[in-house]
């Protein structure tokens, strides 16, 4: 992969998430051109109705869809996505590269996930785990797995 774009709903506010993201972005630098595109999370009341959540997700989706690359693969992170172990994830990304995909966009939703239109647009849906994690932590986990992917494909000792 030459270019990887992370489209993430919400900003990393906590310094420990910012530091972890910076570290993995630095580690990924020699392997790919990676960018992080943050989309504003829509504000909702403390106890939003399903209709309010749907409307907020639809507004976020408009922005997300407008930022997706015109050419390249889109991978949406969502609970109903396919789970991979690290080797299988690396293999899947390697297969995409082998088919000529040079740009990847990973989409991470906010605390209420992603609108169905984003999932439908995605070429693949990915689940990091059957467990629930904060979307900010999911960003760090994805960055680590991307770094691990390059280490697996390069045959280094990072992945044991």
| 126 φ/ψ angles, rounded to the nearest 5 degrees | -120, 135
User: What tokens does 44 get?
Assistant: 């909702």
Model pLDDT for residues 80-108, shown as the tens digit of each residue: 999 999 999 999 999 999 898 989 999 99
Chain segment 16-50, per-residue pLDDT in tens: 999 999 999 999 999 999 999 999 999 999 999 99
Nearest-5° Cα angle at 127, 65 to 53: 50
- CB of 82 closer than 8 Å to CB of 126: yes
Q: Is the pTM of this model over 0.85?
A: yes
**Tokens describing residue 116:** 């169905």
């Amino acid at each position: 992969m030459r270019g990887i774009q992370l489209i993430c709903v919400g900003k990393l506010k906590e310094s420990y998430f910012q530091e972890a993201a910076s570290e993995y972005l630095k580690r990924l630098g020699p392997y790919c051109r990676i960018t992080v595109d943050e989309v504003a999370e829509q504000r909702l009341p403390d106890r939003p109705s399903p209709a309010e959540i749907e409307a907020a997700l639809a507004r976020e989706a408009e922005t997300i869809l407008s930022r997706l690359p015109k050419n390249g693969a889109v991978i949406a992170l969502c609970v109903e996505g396919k789970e991979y172990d690290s080797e299988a994830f690396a293999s899947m990304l390697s297969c995409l590269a082998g088919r000529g995909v040079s740009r990847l966009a990973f989409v991470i939703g906010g605390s209420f996930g992603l609108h169905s239109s984003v999932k439908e647009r995605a070429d693949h849906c990915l689940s990091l785990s059957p467990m629930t994690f904060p979307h900010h932590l999911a960003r760090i986990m994805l960055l680590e797995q991307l770094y691990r992917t390059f280490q697996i494909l390069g045959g280094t000792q990072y992945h044991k």
